Every structure is written in C-alpha cells, then in structure tokens.
A = this chain, B = another copy of it.
Amino acid sequence: MPRRVDHAQRRTEIGDALVRVAGRRGLHAVGMRDVAAEAGVSLRLVQYYFETKEKLLLYGLELLAERFGRRVSERLRAIEGGDGPGPRATIEALLMAALPVDAESRTFHHLYTSYAVLSVTDPALAAQPFISKPDAAEDAVAGLLQQARDADLLRPGVEPRLEAIGLLALSAGLGTAILVGQRGPEAATAVLRHGLDRIFRPQGPPPPSQATST
C-alpha cells in the first residue's frame, strides 16, 4: 500500500479550518471550498476525508465541544490546584470560563449557538449528545453545590439541582447577550457574581474596620 497518512490528524486540521472560517464569516456562510482554502488543501481533499458536508459539520461540532470541555477543565484545574478555594470560587470560575470574553470563547459561543439553532430543524444535529444531553456541566455544578450545602455554605432553601440548571442557563443567556453586544463582559460577570451571592451565605469577610487581630 502507498504512503499512509494520519487520517485523524488531517480531519482535525480540516475541522479546525472549518471552525476558523465559520467563526469569522458565520456557519451559514461556510462552504466546502472555503474550508478547503482555509486549510490550504484542495476541495477534493475535504471531500476525501469527509465525504459529505453534513459529516464535516458534525465533526466540527464534536471538535468544538471537545475543545471547550478541555478549556473549562484546564481553567478549573488552574483554580483548584494547590489551595482548593472552595465550591463558590470553583463554580464562579467554571461559569466565567463559559462566558465569551476572548476570541476563542466567542467563537465557541457563536458556533455552538449556530449549531443549536440548526438542531431545531435538523434531526441529525439534534441527536448529537452536546445538544440533547443533560450536560456534564450540570452534574459538576450540582455536585459542587451539594458539597457547599454539606459544608453549610449555602443559604437555606437552596435546591442544588435547580440552582445548577439555573446558573448554567443564566450563564448561557449572559453569553449570548455578550455575543450580540447587548452587554459588556463586566456587566455579565457582575450579574453572575450577584447571582451566586444569593445562593451562598454571606461569608464573613473578616470585618476590616476594627482590629483584625494583632
């Protein structure tokens, strides 16, 4: 057999090109020729590694979800590493990492929302786990809230599951608001923090007025 090529790598390169050009011009405006040009290959090669456009798009969604998952995990590890700042800071970091504040997360939000819209009318997309699944993020946040509850860090009457869903939906809603320029990142983070304030007990910031200790 002739020269073997790493198909997985080629597919990743082309999928990356798809994400880049779609992030720039919108998912609706992207064609196979654009992806080929962005990846620096011929149209035929895009056809070769992804036989149809639909498969290419599905792969792009996979790529997007995987990248984003890694991004959030890295942020979390960076926060939790060493001291372990408690559930509140962890949740805050997780939700912040999901906001479209830099180019990478903007692209993610933009394209993910595009896919979500398409999934309303496209059954193949709707079947993708990233669209339909109850989401691993929900479990993570709910787990952290449960931890916080066990440590008596939460206000009374807080339902971890409901709050987790709510926080995630809030973060998503703020994300699109940022994306379309309705809000700035600062306003969104303020809203998010305020939302957490109403879930967590007012933590005693060591009263700075009187003598702190010595």
Contacts and interface: CB of A to CB of B under 8 A. Distances in A.
Interface residues of A, number: 54
Interface in A86-121: 110, 113-114, 116-121
A183 interface: yes
A70 interface: no
Contacts of A165: 183, 187, 191
Contact of A132 (B118, B180, B191, B202): B180
A177 interface: yes
Contact of A194 (B113, B163, B195): B163
Interface of A: 24-29, 110, 113-114, 116-122, 126, 131-135, 155, 157-159, 162-163, 165-166, 168-174, 176-177, 179-183, 187-188, 190-191, 194-195, 197-199, 202
Contacts of A177: 169, 172
Given A165-B191, A173-B170, A131 B180 contact: yes
Number of copies: 2
A15 B172 CA distance: 30
Contact of A117 (B114, B157, B168, B172): B114
Contact of A171 (B119, B173, B182): B173
Given A157-B197, A162-B190, A119 B180 contact: yes
Contacts of A132: 180-182
Sorted from nearest, which 5 A-B pairs have the closest CB atoms?
A: A169-B173, A173-B173, A26-B121, A172-B173, A170-B170
